[in-house]
Chains A and B, each alone.
Chain A
Amino acid sequence: DGGITQSPKYLFRKEGQNVTLSCEQNLNHDAMYWYRQDPGQGLRLIYYSQIVNDFQKGDIAEGYSVSREKKESFPLTVTSAQKNPTAFYLCASSMLGANTEAFFGQGTRLTVV
């Protein structure tokens, strides 16, 4: 069953702790993305990667880190430096190229308690 999978679906974190969100795809896509979505808000780009071992900051990278050691995986770490981490996080992937659809995971809802 092909697709993009995020885990966990819900995540609770204590203030001051780092937490890592998982994103795995078996679509053989080159590009992967992380977005943050706040209630009633749009999709804001955190980080993206076009190739293994390379990634670029998006529009709101502060307080986040990523790695791309494998083509299939693009984990996102929300660090304690992120001042307002409670949000819905979406991972996406696509082939590189202009005429390419993006596929999304089901999202992870992170709550800081």
Chain B
Amino acid sequence: GENVEQHPSTLSVQEGDSAVIKCTYSDSASNYFPWYKQELGKRPQLIIDIRSNVGEKKDQRIAVTLNKTAKHFSLHITETQPEDSAVYFCAPRRAGGTSYGKLTFGQGTILTVHP
């Protein structure tokens, strides 16, 4: 099965700084790489994703970069704001095979943005 690890497990930054969270996976067949954000007491929601034929994708202050050779992808948040404080999860997926339907999340990164 897929082994998924996120680093760091906690991240504390000052408002306006950048934050980077890395997700490392083991399944070389993975070809979809999303990041989810879970605010306190709420459900996780997709904030950005990338497919394996793309190396980088940006959406305003957030971006995701992919290194398929090294089997990791990262979430980048620039100009952080207090409302970015949340838990962030990665969940790489594969297209087929015996674990096709399984959806495994990283252990999460708690991001705290201090005003």
Interface residues of A (CB under 8 A from B): 31, 33, 35, 40-43, 45, 48-50, 56, 58-59, 90, 92, 94, 96-102, 104-107
Contact = CB atoms under 8 A, between A and B. Distances in A.
A50 B103 CA distance: 11
Interface in B84-113: 89, 91, 93-96, 100-108, 110
Contact of B101 (A35, A42, A48, A104): A48
Given A42-B105, A48-B103, A104 B110 contact: no
A90 B101 contact: no
21 contacts: A41-B107, A42-B89, A42-B105, A42-B106, A43-B89, A43-B105, A45-B102, A45-B105, A48-B102, A49-B101, A59-B104, A90-B44, A94-B103, A97-B95, A98-B93, A99-B51, A101-B46, A101-B49, A102-B44, A102-B103, A104-B43
Chain B interface bracket (under 10, 10 to 19, 20 to 34, 35 or more): 20 to 34
A96 B103 CA distance: 11
Given A45-B102, A45-B103, A56-B102, A102 B89 contact: no
Interface of B: 30-32, 34, 36, 42-46, 49, 51, 89, 91, 93-96, 100-108, 110
